[in-house]
Amino acid sequence: MAKSRFIYTCNQCGYESSKWNGKCPSCGAWNSFEEEEASPAASTRGNSSQPVPDLSDKILELEQIGVDSDVRYDTGIGELNRVLGGGLVKGSLVLLGGEPGIGKSTILLQICQFLGEEHSILYVSGEESARQIKLRAQRLGVDTENLYILTSTDAEAVAETIASSAPDIAIIDSIQTMSIGRITSSPGSLTQVRECTNLFMHTAKNQEIPMIIVGHVNKDGAIAGPKVMEHIVDAVLYFEGERHQSYRLLRAVKNRFGSTNEIGVFEMRDKGLAEVENPSQMLLSGRPHNVSGTCVACVMEGSRPILAEVQALAAKTSYAAPRRMVTGFDFNRLNIIIAVLEKRLGIFMGTLDVYLNIVGGFRLDEPAGDLPVAMALYSGIMDKQIDEQLIAFGEIGLGGEIRSVSHIVQRIREAERMGFRTCIVPKQSMSAVDVSEFDIDIIPASSLKQAFSVIK
């Protein structure tokens, strides 16, 4: 049977089908299918009279390809440069994602001040009026003459304007407000987001300018319409953090021009986002004194060690099944640690509610966080204080053993730098450590029992 010349595409989610549907099987939208002419398959070229072009004269030797020495723009914000892999690359398209209100527009306006010293910037906003942007700029102390504002939601007109006005840098805030007139689906739908991103990608490459696109993330964590954007753009950065906590993490999820291991730490102040160069200090400030149930942990965020406080509280339950509540730590991981404490050390928690909190809204996502969590729990249940100058890290095995973790030297260094006196580390990792290098007591432990013996 001959293949149908038409395909039907859902204008809400981009789902393709060979027949028309009243309801989209993928996103559930009604009456959203549009008829499109199927693009001819690659093999049909063989039948046509046109010869296939020979591209051999377009092949370049790697050595012949010239690169400008000046390919990265310093944004003036060290933490952002770090996440970008050293600055904004010329001709690249960067997606800045995050929940609404997290601070995307704020940081972009802030970098305009520094970038504006030498470059012209076109800030396209589909969300705010020019007056609102001006007011925010005033508040942030942005008064550069090189910043131009355009309020529009017509993606094609915007791309055209960028080409004709030739700014050095362009910012699109946000992709969900942009739309292309000839596509019938509403702004923010998958088709619109994908086509607008493609359009801006061409603009960035043709004009050889860096472009930053803002993308809002919806509740389930994906940018609305958006996994499709991730593979089009050159770099994807996410802004994370609790809206009610003041600090924000900027994380690279994809970067064609740098590592995805780096994070940037910021704090939202009344005058915009400020870089936090010493996150450990910020997270440890305000620790309680003479209290049981707290222990300091060390997490590696990329190549950066960050110290955070773990707090545990165990209280008699009034339910048949005791409550377990966690913030900033994996719920199942906590249950495993509780099971290990019960089975291997005989510390029963069947009648206790357990609450665990990583202070500062931080997430302790690494196996190295197991030991400080177990220590905080033990300290809380036994009501024995842990020395305030003690830090611990290590993965806990189901046998109650402490297993090795990565980056041990960096972690110990950070503890030392922050003035800690004692450090409990996995015994297995000790081969990488030269004890004489450190001015901190290093206690190697191979089992939970051994680690707990330090708590007096």
Tell me how far apart the alpha carbons of residues 236 and 257 are, in angstroms, rounded to a whole number: 11
Q: Which is nearer to Mg ion, 105 or 311 (CB)?
A: 105
The partner in contact with residue 134, picked from Mg ion, ligand TYD, none with C-beta cut-offs of 5 to 8 angstroms by kind, is none
Contacts to Mg ion from residues 101-130, by CB under 5 A:
105
The partner in contact with residue 272, picked from Mg ion, ligand TYD, none with C-beta cut-offs of 5 to 8 angstroms by kind, is ligand TYD
Contacts to ligand TYD from residues 264-323, by CB under 6 A:
268, 270-272
The partner in contact with residue 141, picked from Mg ion, ligand TYD, none with C-beta cut-offs of 5 to 8 angstroms by kind, is none
The 10 Å Cβ neighbour count of residue 224 is 19
Least gap, CB of 268 to ligand TYD (angstroms)? 5
Contacts to ligand TYD from residues 127-146, by CB under 6 A:
136, 139-140
* Token pair listed for 339: 């099971």
Least gap, CB of 19 to ligand TYD (angstroms)? 40
Counting other chains too, the contacts that 237-240 makes at CB distance below 8 Å and 24 or more residues apart are 237/83, 237/84, 237/94, 237/95, 237/96, 237/97, 238/96, 238/97, 238/98, 239/96, 239/97, 239/98, 239/99, 239/102, 239/103, 239/104, 239/107, 240/98, 240/102
Ranked by CB distance to Mg ion, the top (closest) residue is 105
* Of 10, 88, 95, 102, the one binding ligand TYD by CB under 6 A: 102
Q: Which is nearer to Mg ion, 105 or 203 (CB)?
A: 105
Q: Where are the alpha helices (DSSP H) in 355-447?
A: 370-382, 408-417
Told to check if 176 binds Mg ion by CB under 5 A, we report: no
CA angle 369, 219, 123 (to 5 degrees): 105
Q: Which is nearer to ligand TYD, 171 or 354 (CB)?
A: 171
Tell me how far apart the alpha carbons of residues 414 and 332 are, in angstroms, rounded to a whole number: 28
Contact between 256 and 235 under an 8 Å Cβ cutoff? The reply is: yes
Tell me how far apart the alpha carbons of residues 389 and 372 are, in angstroms, rounded to a whole number: 13
Told to check if 251 binds ligand TYD by CB under 6 A, we report: no
Tell me how far apart the alpha carbons of residues 119 and 167 are, in angstroms, rounded to a whole number: 8
Q: Which is nearer to Mg ion, 142 or 371 (CB)?
A: 142
Contacts to Mg ion from residues 181-200, by CB under 5 A:
none
How many residues line the site for ligand TYD (CB under 6 A)? 15
Contact between 310 and 283 under an 8 Å Cβ cutoff? The reply is: no
The partner in contact with residue 139, picked from Mg ion, ligand TYD, none with C-beta cut-offs of 5 to 8 angstroms by kind, is ligand TYD
Give the footprint of ligand TYD on this chain (CB under 6 A).
98, 100-106, 136, 139-140, 268, 270-272
Give the footprint of Mg ion on this chain (CB under 5 A).
105
